[in-house]
Amino acid sequence: MRTVTAQGVEDAIPYREETSKDARYLEVVAVRKSFRGATVMDGMNFRMRKGELVSLLGPSGCGKTTLLRIIAGLVVADEGDVVLGSRNITDLPAHKRNVSVVFQNYALFPHLSVAENVAFGLKARGRTRAEAEGPVRDALKLVRMETYADKPIAGLSGGQQQRIAVARALVVKPDLLLLDEPFSALDRKLRETMQVELKSLLRDSGTTAIFVTHDQEEALSVSDRIAVMNAGRIEQFASPSTLYARPETPFVMDFVGLSLRLHGRAARTGDDHVAVETAHGIVRTAARLEDGEPAIVGVRPELVRAYRASDVPREPSGRNRIEVTLEDVMILGSKTMLHGRSEGSERLVCELAGIQSQYVRGQRIVLDWAIEDTLAYGAAA
Ligand SMILES: Nc1ncnc2c1ncn2[C@@H]1O[C@H](COP(=O)(O)OP(=O)(O)OP(=O)(O)O)[C@@H](O)[C@H]1O
């Protein structure tokens, strides 16, 4: 698959051109992994900068946790290398990597107090109780739990327990922090609060971290960059804004955000644009597609305008228009989602700001968007 043409926001720093040590802080090189003959990862390469917060985002079973565990030393790769801060740690056991992991289920010790839980990693490294006191206090302060030091774990809420788990991971000043779906057991509101807190505390402490999630909104909100994984491969690795505005494959377009999506066949028209013939009419795109090539075209729903078919204004050229019958109108308060009726796997969706009660099911409407916002992918590439 290839080709993207929507106007996107460039990553602030051209990643591939960076060669400094900090730019290659963590490198996973040509990693292969099979479980009982089934290949999960076949030559995975991944590289991140010092101080970055990177999310691994992908559907269940795509290999996110396996990659995280290989980096942590909890799973041994069949082939390949893991390099951290110019140290090849491939053959080091987990406890010698100075990598901390925060798990989904917190994994705290219920019989120990909050402070004893946080001190655990320091004790394991041979620090005395007195030596651990200061760092434990600082770590608890970082997660705003300093007044809970002597409390038992049992009485804490899920959000508080996860804060303690983060404090316990950070107290040892890890070279790398790995978080495996850390907030998935929390309710939505608390999860959002924790995402904001985590982002600022990692930034404040200068921690390099990898965050595993299958929730695209979570990935978009917490990450400096996101690696979108699919079937053991990274499909695209970019900033949240680039991923959203310029997804490089239909998989990324579908996985990161919603889009209006149509299937069709490209037909060369001779001008700057390619016309894609779809079941809902011609959609033009600036993407390079071969004449006759099957193609997928898409556009983000908030870039689509809607008009009642009876009062469509004249438009300057440069826009695509298709007419559809409204199947569903979802008024969500801050926005209204219009869904057009579709026969197959087309998705005819438009997002309008605010409450738009003039639209009703069964109405004929025209969806309208700029050619330059049209994403397009040739199936033959
Ligand atoms: N210890 C194991 N033994 C056998 N198969 C495994 C093992 N660990 C992972 N797998 C398989 O490897 C594949 C990738 O699993 P992994 O847990 O890395 O995916 P994931 O993207 O983290 O999924 P999820 O979001 O569901 O946690 C899956 O098919 C899984 O069944």
Task: Quick: pLDDT tens for 89-98.
Answer: 999 999 899 9
Atom of ligand 1 nearest to the CA of 62: 21
Of 243, 234, 241, 369, whose CA–CA distance to 299 is shortest?
369
Instruction: Give nearest CA residue, ligand 1 atom 10.
Output: 35
* Cβ contact 109:118 at 8 Å: no
pLDDT exceeds cutoff 90 at 207 = yes
pLDDT exceeds cutoff 80 at 4 = no
Atom of ligand 1 nearest to the CA of 65: 22
What pLDDT sits at residue 127? Answer: 87
Per-residue confidence band for 2, with pLDDT thresholds at 50, 70 and 90:
very low
Least confident range of 26-30, 223-227, 286-290:
286-290
Whether the ipTM is more than 0.90: the answer is yes
Average pLDDT, the chain: 89
Q: Out of 42, 55, 62, give the residue to mutate to test ligand 1, the one with the largest number of ligand atoms within 8 Å of its CB.
A: 62
pLDDT exceeds cutoff 80 at 180 = yes
CA dist 78 and 35 (Å) reads 10
Q: What is the pLDDT of residues 134-159, one digit of tens each?
A: 999 999 988 889 999 999 998 898 88
Mean predicted confidence (pLDDT) in 316-332: 92
> Residue 177: which H helix or E strand, with range?
strand 176-180
Distance 341 CA to ligand 1 centre (A): 37
Give 18-72 as a DSSP string: --STGGGSEEEEEEEEEETTEEEEEEEEEEE-TT-EEEEE--TTSSHHHHHHHHH
Q: Out of 31, 65, 180, 213, give the residue to mutate to test ligand 1, the one with the largest number of ligand atoms within 8 Å of its CB.
A: 65
Ligand 1 pocket by C-beta < 6 Å: which residues?
35, 40, 58, 60-66, 214
Distance 65 CA to ligand 1 centre (A): 7
Distance 233 CA to ligand 1 centre (A): 13
What pLDDT sits at residue 7? Answer: 36
Mean predicted confidence (pLDDT) in 345-366: 94
CA dist 2 and 175 (Å) reads 36
Q: Out of 35, 210, 218, give the residue to mutate to test ligand 1, the one with the largest number of ligand atoms within 8 Å of its CB.
A: 35
* Cβ contact 362:308 at 8 Å: no
Q: Out of 62, 66, 228, give the residue to mutate to test ligand 1, the one with the largest number of ligand atoms within 8 Å of its CB.
A: 66
Distance 372 CA to ligand 1 centre (A): 39
What pLDDT sits at residue 126? Answer: 86
CA 116 to chain CA centroid, Å, is 34
pLDDT exceeds cutoff 60 at 18 = no
Instruction: Give nearest CA residue, ligand 1 atom 28.
Output: 61
Task: Report the amino acid identity of residue 47.
Answer: R
The domain ranges of the chain are 26-253, 258-378
Instruction: Give nearest CA residue, ligand 1 atom 24.
Output: 60
Distance 100 CA to ligand 1 centre (A): 20
pTM of structure: 0.87
Share of the chain above pLDDT 90, in %: 67
pLDDT exceeds cutoff 60 at 253 = yes
Q: Which residues contact 228 (CB under 8 A, 6 or more apart)?
A: 57, 58, 234, 235, 236, 237, 243, 251, 252, 255, 256
- For residues 342, 345, 351, 357, the Cα torsion angle rounded to the nearest 10 degrees is 30
Q: DSSP H helical segments within the chain, as ranges?
A: 64-72, 114-124, 129-142, 158-170, 188-205, 216-222, 240-245, 250-255
Burial of 133 (0-12, 13-18, 19+ CB in 10 A): middle
What pLDDT sits at residue 11? Answer: 41
pLDDT exceeds cutoff 60 at 381 = no
Task: Report the amino acid identity of residue 173.
Answer: K
Of 222, 108, 100, 95, whose CA–CA distance to 164 is shortest?
108
Atom of ligand 1 nearest to the CA of 75: 1
Q: Which residues contact 88 (CB under 8 A, 6 or more apart)?
A: 81, 82
Specify whether domain 26-253 bears CATH 3.30.2420.10: no
Instruction: Give nearest CA residue, ligand 1 atom 18.
Output: 63
Per-residue confidence band for 380, with pLDDT thresholds at 50, 70 and 90:
low
Mean predicted confidence (pLDDT) in 186-190: 84
Distance 40 CA to ligand 1 centre (A): 8
Please report where in the chains the tokens 């738009």 appear, as a residue: 356
What pLDDT sits at residue 319? Answer: 93
Mean predicted confidence (pLDDT) in 179-184: 90
Mean predicted confidence (pLDDT) in 337-353: 91
Specify whether domain 258-378 bears CATH 1.10.3430.10: no
DSSP-derived 3-state class of residue 234: strand
Q: What is the pLDDT of residues 33-53, one digit of tens each?
A: 999 999 999 999 999 999 999
